[in-house]
Chains A and B, each alone.
Chain A
Amino acid sequence: NAGVTQTPKFQVLKTGQSMTLQCAQDMNHEYMSWYRQDPGMGLRLIHYSVGAGITDQGEVPNGYNVSRSTTEDFPLRLLSAAPSQTSVYFCASSYSWEAPTEAFFGQGTRLTVV
């Protein structure tokens, strides 16, 4: 099993550009989420999904869109990149949001907006 796979690992964007961060899991997990981590900080929740076709906002959703058309994939779209979105982005999945299960995290996408 690959677990949670994030692509790309590194990305540099110019202000105003858009891009999609990819996240895929092969564990048939119901719950998926996106976090961002700024230097010296803990992770903050951007968006989450409790199943295909269902998404909701987390703590810091502004400037990001998500969709969940399949169980496996949960892409994160930056609509118009800003320097404040320079961060490390982590995708996570877990078997269920209804039970206390462990979350599996990807290795992160390091994004720099110049």
Chain B
Amino acid sequence: DAKTTQPTSMDCAEGRAANLPCNHSTISGNEYVYWYRQIHSQGPQYIIHGLKNNETNEMASLIITEDRKSSTLILPHATLRDTAVYYCIVSNAGGTSYGKLTFGQGTILTVHP
């Protein structure tokens, strides 16, 4: 699986957009980008995933660069409840990854009032 690089921590003001970057320069053509978050040591929660097109759901938007070497998770209107560790993961479903998710250190996002 491709390795990912994320900033250790980020801050965001409540109500503003939170933009979390992720670098995955060694990503291969069949690998997807997934984002999960973990709040207060609870079980990780799925946010969104994508292959090469930008994706949006009720929680967030995922912007993947054209060369697929980096991506940005956007929380459009951050709330205090979005304070969590955010993990960017690259994995090839159906391939040698067998559904495995490799979690790095993630980005600690702190949303301030």
Contacts and interface: CB of A to CB of B under 8 A. Distances in A.
Interface residues of B, number: 24
Nearest to B93: A100
Contact of B46 (A48, A102, A106, A107): A102
Interface in A23-43: 31, 33, 35, 37, 41-43
Interface string B77-113: 0000000000100010110001111111110000000
A48 B93 contact: no
B45 interface: yes
- Give the size category of A's interface with B: 20 to 34
A74 interface: no
Interface in B5-51: 32, 34, 36, 41-46, 49, 51
Interface of B: 32, 34, 36, 41-46, 49, 51, 87, 91, 93-94, 98-106
Interface of A: 4, 31, 33, 35, 37, 41-45, 48, 50, 56, 58, 88, 90, 92, 94, 96-108
